[in-house]
């Protein structure tokens, strides 16, 4: 089908097309007057997510800011946020809202109100900034302003509540872990104490047994000096300084520990060994004294054999002590985390700073009357063209020589009216650069 044929069809149905074109324009004008106006109010907030949190010191990485913005945009449509905003607006007691709900009771009234608020709310992060904008649409400007402010307040409250709830759950979990670690630590300390009593092995604070400490003290003792002059004064024993340090440590710990505490028992044994060593050193250093008992080398050899004999038991005791040390460190860190989350569970900090209240919109967002008329004309004209062509395809008529063009069948002749002036069709065809097809001469 050529353009000439289409033009002749549309020209033949111009009445239908014109009627639908006018009807579309009138319908657009009517819709513009009947359709209620929509007003949109906007309010903004500064999201300080990339700044360190004043409570935890944490911040959202810059690479995750897009995901954070998307999360905030979805949180605006949360059911709890929308229901809280509807409650702030007082819609639960509004007669118009109750009547609208009775017409469509698809859910409970609070949920229905929340869905209504959510459908008219939009949240987005402004491009290249950390400003978050919340918009609310209503049929009158005052409701739009109140709705935007209510959604913003509900959004901030829900953000803070979500943070506190999460921190409270974490604090409770770390609290349970602390209780478990405390029980495990008590069991480990009891096993360690029982092992030390059963095997007569006592470890000091540095996980060294008393026998090894005695060996170190003997190894550090200098050999006894030869007597010089009978009237020379007696020199201080080399181990007297260590003995004084142990006595000071015992005096300090007696204020908090009992006499049967493993640490006190170890210190008493160490003191006894050092006191014996001081006595021997003092006797050896006394002028004219004759050394009695075993020599220092003999005591060193005997102590070495004793340490080697108890090395297996000492190793087991050190393993138990290591377990106690690890559990104690874990308990300290877990308690610290629980305390941090407890503090966070009480905070009201949201890292959101409002930028003022929403203002009442002055003009509606709905398109103007002329835009509705233009849309109606476009739709009416398109519908008229479609109907006109459809009628022509259903009720076919011969409107020109080209309608008789059939492949393999020649056109013998046609009767046309010859006029001196060109018709409207000919002038249009010339302007479009089209030529009317001429009938082929019969052969």
Q: Where are the domains of the chain?
A: 3-33+367-432, 188-222+236-342
The residues facing 124 across adjacent strands are 133
pLDDT above 80: residue 40: yes
The residues facing 134 across adjacent strands are 43, 123
Top-confidence residue, 144 or 32: 144
User: What is the CA 320 to chain-centroid distance, rounded?
Assistant: 41
Cα distance between residue 187 and residue 324, in whole Å:
9
Tell me what the mean pLDDT of segment 162-184 comes to: 91
CA nearest 159: which of 353, 354, 350, 356? 350
With b for 16 or more beta-carbon neighbours within 10 A and e for fewer, the 197-224 pattern comes to eeeebbbbeeeebbbbbbbebbeebeee
pLDDT on residue 194? 86
- Parallel/antiparallel/unpaired status of strands 352-354 and 39-47: antiparallel
Of 32-41, 72-81, 293-302, 427-436, the range with the highest mean pLDDT is 72-81
pLDDT on residue 295? 62
Tell me what the mean pLDDT of segment 62-83 comes to: 83
Tell me what the mean pLDDT of segment 73-101 comes to: 86
C-alpha pair distances (Å), 248 with each of 20, 211, 245: 110, 20, 5
- Residue 232: pLDDT band (50, 70, 90) is very low
pLDDT on residue 443? 44
Helix, coil or strand: residue 74: helix
pLDDT on residue 277? 77
Encode pLDDT of 377-425 as tens digits.
Answer: 889 888 888 888 888 788 777 776 666 666 677 766 666 665 555 555 5
Cα distance between residue 51 and residue 61, in whole Å:
9
Top-confidence residue, 140 or 295: 140
pLDDT on residue 439? 47
pLDDT on residue 115? 87
pLDDT above 70: residue 155: yes
Q: Is the pTM of this model over 0.75?
A: no
Q: Which residue has the tokens 């305390």?
A: 339
Cα distance between residue 106 and residue 78, in whole Å:
18
pLDDT above 80: residue 313: no
Name the average pLDDT for the chain: 77
- Residue 243: pLDDT band (50, 70, 90) is confident
pLDDT on residue 308? 65
- Cα dihedral sign for 17, 18, 19, 21? positive
- Parallel/antiparallel/unpaired status of strands 352-354 and 131-138: unpaired
pLDDT > 70 fraction of the chain, expressed in percent and rounded: 72
pLDDT above 90: residue 101: no
pLDDT above 60: residue 69: yes
pLDDT on residue 329? 92
pLDDT above 50: residue 231: no
Top-confidence residue, 442 or 358: 358
- Residue 441: pLDDT band (50, 70, 90) is very low
Residues making up the chain, counted from first to last: 443
pLDDT above 70: residue 204: no
């Amino acid at each position: 089908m050529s353009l000439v044929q289409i033009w002749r069809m549309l020209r033949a149905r111009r009445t239908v097309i014109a009627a639908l074109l006018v009807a579309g324009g009138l319908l657009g004008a009517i819709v513009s007057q009947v359709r209620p106006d929509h007003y949109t109010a906007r309010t903004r907030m500064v999201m300080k997510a990339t700044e360190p949190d004043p409570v935890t010191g944490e911040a959202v990485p810059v690479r995750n800011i897009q995901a954070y913005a998307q999360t905030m945009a979805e949180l605006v449509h949360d059911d709890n946020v929308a229901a809280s905003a509807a409650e702030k607006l007082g819609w639960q007691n509004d007669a118009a809202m109750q009547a609208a709900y009775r017409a469509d009771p698809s859910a409970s009234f609070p949920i229905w109100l929340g869905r209504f608020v959510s459908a008219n709310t939009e949240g987005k992060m402004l491009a290249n900034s950390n400003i978050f904008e919340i918009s609310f649409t209503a049929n009158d400007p005052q409701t739009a302003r109140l709705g935007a402010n209510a959604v913003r307040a509900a959004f901030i409250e829900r953000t803070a509540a979500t943070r506190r709830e999460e921190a409270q759950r974490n604090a409770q979990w770390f609290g349970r872990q602390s209780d478990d670690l405390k029980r495990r630590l008590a069991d480990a300390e009891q096993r360690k104490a029982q092992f030390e009593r059963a095997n007569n092995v006592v470890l000091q604070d540095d996980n060294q047994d008393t026998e090894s400490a005695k060996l170190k003290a003997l190894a550090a003792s200098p050999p006894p000096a030869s007597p010089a002059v009978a009237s020379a004064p007696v020199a201080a024993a080399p181990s007297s300084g260590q003995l004084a340090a142990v006595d000071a440590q015992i005096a300090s710990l007696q204020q908090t520990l009992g006499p049967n505490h493993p640490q006190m028992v170890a210190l008493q044994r160490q003191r006894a060994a050092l006191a014996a060593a001081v006595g021997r050193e003092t006797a050896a250093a006394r002028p004219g004294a004759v050394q009695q008992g075993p020599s220092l080398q003999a005591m060193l050899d005997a102590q070495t054999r004793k340490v080697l004999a108890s090395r297996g038991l000492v190793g087991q005791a050190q393993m138990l002590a290591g377990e106690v040390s690890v559990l104690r460190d874990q308990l300290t860190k877990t308690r610290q985390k629980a305390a941090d989350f407890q503090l966070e569970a009480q905070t009201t900090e949201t890292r959101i700073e409002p930028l003022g209240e929403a203002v009442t919109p002055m003009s509606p967002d709905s398109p103007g009357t002329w835009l509705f008329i233009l849309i109606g004309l476009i739709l009416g004209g398109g519908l008229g063209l479609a109907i006109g062509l459809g009628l022509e395809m259903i009720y076919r008529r011969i409107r020109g020589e080209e309608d008789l063009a059939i492949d393999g069948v020649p056109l013998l002749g046609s009767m046309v009216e010859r006029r001196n002036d060109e018709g409207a069709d000919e002038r249009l065809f010339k302007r479009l650069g089209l030529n009317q097809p001429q009938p082929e001469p019969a052969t």
